[in-house]
A and B are shown apart, each in its own frame.
Chain A
Amino acid sequence: MNEDIVVTGMGIITGLGYGKKQTLEALRLQHSGIGKNNYLQTIHADYPVSEVKMSDNEMRNFLKIPSEKIITRTPLLGIMALNEAINEARFDKNEARKIAFINGTTVGGMEKSEQYYPEFINTEHYIENHDCGSSSEAIAEYFGNFDMITTISTACSSAANAIVLGANLLKTERVDVAIVGGTECLSKFHLNGFNTLMILDKAACRPFDATRTGLNLGEGAAYLVLEKASDAQQRNIKPLCKLSGYANTCDAYHQTASSPDGQGAYLAMQNALYESQLKPEDIDYINAHGTGTENNDLSEGTAIMRIFKDTIPPVSSTKPFTGHTTSAAGSVESIISILALQHDFIPANLNFNHPMPELSFQPVKENITKKLQHVLTNSFGFGGNDTTCIFSKIE
């Protein structure tokens, strides 16, 4: 099938707020969601995080989930985001079309496991909610009527790889609609894990800045509704944009570090460009993975220089807004990229002041108004799991 894959709905929840409207507003006003932890209980409160400003109970009430129902924060965030996406795509969830739900997550029910481990005394129900698959199942069951679901766990590129699988499902015509993305709540487990790797910054993160010393963690969920262009047309839905290319590669360099030449990132961008039949100069904006760690930004920056050479388009990392939402980052940043595309603006790379001497480019310091046709977004994960997606306006 050579038909275009289009996006017909999106839903997002992050430290910037709930929904596309609040997200867009925060981006426009350059208001970051990063601050002091409120819900996450940790002794490492000196690390800023970008929390979703809703308690589990507030989300439960919003979603009308009864208090006796066992559900952890990761699926709650997921249901919030999925709710918005499904509403926008305007399909009747009871109709006969086959819908897939592809979810990216790594933490799963860890935030409850770490409270009750090792004994799980009187909280045995959380045992079954520990694994990642059960989070996806909880989200899918809230809505019902999914013909198939599965979960991808490639660390911080999980949600981007959900987009990849969703597109392949549509191209093989296995399903009519693929709802794809990821969800991840903050957990002590990964906050401490990142801390042992010494890649957390006690100040606000500064991607692509020479003084950067690490990332800020965030939480959130975001989903895209993908379908074939002809199906959207038949349903009389105006697509938001099309997914023109995507690629998954592996850096194969180190378990938690990226290669100096950014080979995985280079191949992901190159293969995605190849699939979209676009040239590097066609890309109007790069939403970089840009975590703010010394290693990632140098590796990714080098890969960008290798691909785009003398015509590097505006680059920004929006992680200073949302924090690094880990498994959800791929879909969170895809939606931010699509909002940029829809509204013809480039969100700033906050907190940037000092150019990196190794790079030939600097990220965008302030929001820019610019006509955009094609945007590229990178999502890279531990283990060298690198994925790039390209979204384009529909002429």
Chain B
Amino acid sequence: MSIYIQAAAQISSQEPLSDAWFTNPKRYTERHVRSIDPDYKDFISPIEARRMGKILKRALATSWTVVRKTGIEQPDAIITGTGLGCIENTEKFLSAMVRDKEMYLQPSFFMQSTHNTISSQIALHLKCNKYNSTYTQQGISFESGLFDTYLQFKLGKINTALVAGHDEMTPEYFILLDKINYWKKGKVNETILRKSNSIGSFAGESSSCFLLENKKTAQSICELKAVDLFFNPTQQRIKQAIEDMLLKNNLKINDIDIVMTGISGDCNNDCVYRENIFPLFSATPIAWYKHIFGESFTACGLGMYTAMLALQANKLPVDYLYNKISPIEGIKNILIYNHFKNKNHSLILLSSC
């Protein structure tokens, strides 16, 4: 049983609903970079769009894009990962409630505040009655949803799935997270992030959406070989998990052409990759993406997107290369490794097809 990515779409700090940015990504120096929104009128009626927060519009636009590309209008599963859910609406309801002391509240912000609003709005748009779920586990929210999908494919429960990761970063939440040192204190650029000698990264937003199918077609972009999650693993546990994953897929360490990491410029975050990955993959190109997209709870979805493009294009632009080892021609296997505060860790294995 194999799983293929048949179509993908993203909205981020890069050109939305496009892959053109891959070879020349935009760079930012602000601490808070918001996504570039496309024109939503191709996906949502203006009346509907007025009532929707940004995250829902992005979710619907990316979903419709992959559905239209594949013609799969009734995926067997719709699964979203989101660290904060519809935080913009949550804040609106919460601040009105606090300000007006629980009086004069309107239902609209509450109705679209729960995390599962995203998956259910997608189902509503597609009129899809099938499996529908939402995962929220901080920095591995996207991978949690992908993991559920992977298990269901393995069990033969589904043939197709729409899997997505969505997070917005409102100015208010940016400030809150700034108080607890999520973000660097001055301007950021690649040099500073690469040095990784202070805590914090910079804030981004992420929307990525993938249509998966258990059938290889002319459209297939790459294969999703494995997904796994780990809680508070020891270094030994991660090493063993990587080796097990490779073994199950008949691969060895040197078959991995690129390790795509969640290195973000935050010294506490990055040292985990140095300890868990660098010794094991000492001769392998190490890549990163959070210096392009910024940090967000579902940034790993954009990491998988970038890895997918590298497999498709059979090249990795130098913009994404973290160490000095360039991938040689013929990129076949990419291991994506991400963790959140060294507590929850995730592994994803993508291969060319």
A-side residues, CB < 8 A to B, are 42-44, 101, 106, 110, 113-114, 117-118, 120, 124-125, 127-128, 131-134, 136-137, 140-141, 144, 146-155, 161, 165, 168-169, 171-172, 174, 188-189, 192-193, 195-197, 248-256, 263-264, 267, 381-385
Q: Are B155 and A189 in contact (CB under 8 A)?
A: no
- Asked if B229 is at the interface of the complex by the 8 Å CB criterion, the answer is yes
Interface residues of B in 184-199 (CB under 8 A from A): none
Q: Which of B94, B114, B155 has the most CB of A within 10 A?
A: B114
The answer to whether A147 and B133 have CB atoms under 8 Å apart is: no
B120 with A383: CB separation less than 8 A: yes
Candidates A131, A169, A197, A248; contact of B151 at CB < 8 Å: A169
State the total of A-B contacts with C-beta under 8 angstroms.
195
**In contact, B115 and A153 (Cβ under 8 angstroms):** yes
Question: Smallest Cβ distance from B49 to chain A, in angstroms?
Answer: 15
Closest to A250 in B: B132
Q: A114-B94, A193-B113 are in contact. List 5 more A-B contacts (CB 8 A).
A: A155-B114, A161-B133, A196-B106, A384-B132, A385-B132
Q: Please determine whether A133 and B102 come into contact, CB atoms closer than 8 angstroms.
A: no
B136 on the A face (CB < 8 A): yes
Which B residues are CB-close (under 8 A) to A132?
Answer: 115, 136-137
- Which one, B98, B138, B343, contacts A118 given CB within 8 A? B98
Given the complex, which residues of B lie within 8 Å of A171, measured CB to CB? Answer: 151, 155
Q: Is the beta-carbon distance between B116 and A155 smaller than 8 angstroms?
A: yes
Assess whether A152 is in contact with B152, with CB atoms less than 8 Å apart: no
The 5 closest A-B pairs by CB, nearest first: A383-B120, A193-B110, A250-B132, A196-B107, A153-B115
In angstroms, how far is the closest chain A Cβ from the Cβ of B139?
A: 8
Q: Are B135 and A249 in contact (CB under 8 A)?
A: no
For A383, what are the chain B residues with a Cβ–Cβ distance below 8 Å? 114, 116-117, 119-121, 123, 132
Find A120's partner among B111, B113, B129, B176 (CB 8 Å cutoff): B176
Instruction: Assess the B180–A150 pair: CB atoms within 8 A.
Output: no
B residues within 8 A CB of A117?
Answer: 94-95, 98
Say if the beta carbon of B28 comes within 8 Å of chain A: no
Do B151 and A174 touch (CB < 8 A)? yes
Chain B positions within 8 Å of A267 at CB level? 129
Q: Is B97 an interface residue, CB under 8 A from the partner?
A: yes
Interface pair B98/A114, CB less than 8 Å apart = yes
Chain A's closest residue to B131 (CB) is A248
Residues of chain A contacted by B107 (CB below 8 angstroms): 193, 196-197, 256
Shortest distance in angstroms between B333's beta carbon and chain A's nearest beta carbon?
A: 21
Q: Cβ of B152: which chain A residues have Cβ within 8 Å of it?
A: 168
Question: What is the size, in residues, of chain B's interface with A at 8 Å between Cβ atoms?
Answer: 65
Interchain CB contact (< 8 A) of B111 among A110, A148, A255: A255
Decide yes or no whether B349 CB sits under 8 A from chain A: no
Measured between beta carbons, the chain A residues less than 8 angstroms from B127 are 252
Residues of B within 8 A of A384 (CB): 120, 123-124, 132
| Distance of A167 from chain B, by nearest CB (Å) | 10
Give the complex CA separation of A169 and B148 in angstroms.
Answer: 9
Q: How far is the CA of A169 from the CA of B228 in the complex (A)?
A: 11
| CA A101 to CA B120, docked complex, whole Å | 25
Chain B residue nearest to A247 (CB atoms) is B131
Contacts of A137 in B (CB 8 A): 138, 343-344
- Indicate whether B202 reaches chain A with its CB closer than 8 angstroms: no
Q: Which of A165, A196, A385 contacts B110 (CB 8 A)?
A: A196
**For residue B233, which residues in chain A have a CB less than 8 angstroms away from its CB?**
147
CA distance A342 to B124 in the complex (A): 39
Contact (A128, B180) CB under 8 Å given A113-B94, A149-B137, A189-B97: yes
CB atoms of A42 and B133 under 8 A apart: no
Inter-subunit contact B115/A250 (CB<8 Å): no
A335 to B147, CA, bound (A): 27
Residues of A within 8 Å of B93, CB to CB, are: 189, 192-193
**Interchain CB contact under 8 A, B132 and A127:** no
Chain A residue contacts of B232, Cβ below 8 A? 141, 144, 146
Given contacts A193-B107, A383-B116, contact A252 B123 (CB under 8 A): yes
A161-B172 Cα distance, complex, nearest whole Å = 31
Query: What are the residues of chain B within 8 A of A140 when measuring CB–CB?
Result: 231
Mark each residue of chain B from 134 to 148: 1 if its CB lies under 8 Å from any CB of chain A, else 0.
111110110010011
Which residues of chain A are within 8 angstroms of B148 by Cβ–Cβ distance? 165, 168
Chain A residues, Cβ within 8 Å of B309 = none
CB-based contact A153/B134 at 8 Å? yes
Cα–Cα, bound, A252→B123 (Å): 5
User: CA A236 – CA B177 in complex, angstroms?
Assistant: 49
B144 cross-chain contacts in A, Cβ below 8 A: 150-151
What 1/0 flags go to B147-162 for Cβ under 8 Å of A? 1100110110100000
Q: A133 contacts B129, CB within 8 Å?
A: no
Which of B6-14, B18-26, B77-85, B315-323 binds A?
B77-85
Task: State the CA gap A252–B102 with chains docked (Å).
Answer: 31
- Assess whether B129 is in contact with A150, with CB atoms less than 8 Å apart: no
User: Complex: how many Å from CA A146 to CA B345?
Assistant: 13
| Cβ of B44 to closest chain A Cβ, rounded Å | 14
Query: B102–A251 contact, CB under 8 A?
Result: no
Q: Cβ of A149 and Cβ of B344 under 8 Å apart?
A: yes
Residues of A within 8 A of B272 (CB): none
Q: Taking the complex as formed, is B280 at the interface, i.e. its CB lies under 8 A from any CB of chain A?
A: no
A110 cross-chain contacts in B, Cβ below 8 A:
94
A149 to chain B, nearest CB (A): 5
A125 — which chain B residues lie within 8 A by C-beta?
Answer: 180
Q: Please measure, in the bound complex, the distance between the C-alpha atom of A133 and the C-alpha atom of B143, giving whole angstroms.
A: 13
Residues from chain A with a CB closer than 8 A to the CB of B41 are none
Our pick among B102, B121, B140 for the contact of A188 (Cβ within 8 Å) is B102
CA distance A253 to B129 in the complex (A): 9
Complex interface bits, B222-235 against A, C-beta within 8 A gives 1, otherwise 0:
00000011111100
Contact A127 B176 (CB under 8 A): yes
Complex CA–CA separation, A227 to B157 (angstroms): 20
**A134→B136 CA distance, assembly (Å):** 9
Q: Are A44 and B102 in contact (CB under 8 A)?
A: yes
